[in-house]
């Protein structure tokens, strides 16, 4: 699609990405520019705000984590831009009701020029049963916002393998856990994810030693470089993260995106509630 519009490379800045999106829509090549997941009470809305917050040089909390700061100038700019994407028709209103596990169908069918998502979309995009763009896409970094400090940013997921206390097979659960801890498990994950999401540092620092050629697995170099720019959501350090996400932040974010509450007011209200919780419960 970008080639049809006369572009040979992916955009370097967020504004360039938005300009290309507008152009693709105006030319009738795309229905939307991209399709993020803003679903409330779920990780999707948190991930999307974290992305925009960090691209605007903001942080969730101050350095010593004694005060929430997501309602400062950077936070207001981030949520304002997210709302502008909706208001300008660059993204569908359905973004408010979709998760990032269910929103890639327009990209896979060639109806949007961009997709900002986790690395699993790459494997779907090269699967002929799921994709119409097998030879017509490439992978790159999220573009930065002109005038801001970051050239790019990526939201790191984070997950760990564990055995549930309700497992019906303790022995097989342990064997799976043991497998995922070993080299063959790490290699299996990389194969499944197209060269990304390694569970052992050495497998992506020295991929050729494990049979992964960057020429064959294009995600390796992108994933490796991305880790230099990655950051985390409050889930990395907040013990009451689900409460913060489900009952404080994402409801406020949705009220602002729907125009039911002014952006500054919604963020200030969420910050006040979160601060009270922080002072009562700690991290």
For the CA atoms of 125, 128, 132, 138, the dihedral, rounded to the nearest 10 degrees, stands at 30
Which residues are bridge partners to 68 per DSSP? 61
Structure-block tokens of residue 9: 């490379």
Find tokens 């209200």 and name the residue. Answer: 269
CA–CA separation, 123 vs 131, rounded Å? 10
CA–CA separation, 283 vs 268, rounded Å? 20
Structure-block tokens of residue 223: 């994933």
Which residues are bridge partners to 182 per DSSP? none
Collapsing DSSP to helix, strand or coil, 22 comes out as helix
Q: Tens digits of per-residue pLDDT, 208-243?
A: 888 888 888 888 888 878 878 889 899 989 999 999
User: One digit per residue, pLDDT tens: the chain, 283 residues?
Assistant: 999 999 999 899 999 999 999 999 999 999 999 999 888 777 888 999 999 999 999 999 999 999 999 999 999 999 999 999 999 999 999 999 988 888 899 999 999 999 999 888 988 999 999 999 999 999 888 999 999 999 999 998 766 778 889 999 999 999 988 888 888 888 888 888 777 776 777 887 888 888 888 888 888 888 878 878 889 899 989 999 999 999 999 999 999 999 999 999 999 999 999 999 999 999 9
Task: Collect all residues with Cβ–Cβ distance below 8 Å to 84 and sequence separation of at least 6.
Answer: 90
Residue ranges of domains in the chain, CATH in brackets: 14-156+233-281 (3.40.190.10), 170-229 (no CATH)
């Amino acid at each position: 699609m970008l080639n049809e519009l006369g572009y040979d490379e992916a955009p370097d800045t967020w504004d360039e990405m938005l300009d290309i999106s507008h152009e693709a829509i105006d030319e009738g090549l795309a229905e939307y520019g991209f399709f993020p997941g803003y679903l409330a009470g779920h990780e999707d809305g948190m991930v999307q705000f974290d992305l925009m917050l960090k691209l605007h040089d903001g942080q969730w909390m101050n350095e010593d984590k004694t005060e929430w700061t997501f309602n400062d100038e950077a936070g207001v700019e981030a949520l304002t831009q997210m709302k502008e994407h909706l208001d300008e028709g660059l993204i569908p209103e359905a973004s408010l009701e979709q998760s990032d596990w269910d929103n890639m169908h327009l990209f896979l069918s060639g109806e949007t020029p961009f997709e900002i998502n986790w690395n699993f979309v790459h494997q779907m995009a090269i699967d002929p049963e799921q994709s119409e763009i097998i030879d017509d896409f490439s992978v790159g970094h999220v573009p930065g916002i002109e005038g801001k400090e970051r050239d790019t940013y990526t939201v790191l997921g984070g997950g760990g393998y564990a055995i549930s206390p309700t497992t019906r097979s303790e022995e097989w659960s342990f064997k799976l856990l043991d497998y995922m801890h070993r080299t063959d498990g790490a290699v299996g994950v990389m194969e499944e994810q197209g060269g990304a999401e390694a569970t052992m540092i050495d497998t992506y620092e020295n991929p050729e030693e494990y049979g992964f050629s960057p020429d064959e697995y294009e995600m390796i170099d992108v994933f490796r470089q991305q880790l230099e720019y990655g950051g985390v959501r409050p889930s990395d350090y907040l013990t009451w993260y689900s409460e913060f996400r489900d009952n404080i932040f994402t409801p406020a974010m949705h009220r602002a995106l729907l125009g039911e509450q002014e952006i500054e007011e919604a963020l200030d209200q969420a910050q006040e509630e979160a601060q009270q919780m922080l002072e009562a419960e700690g991290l």
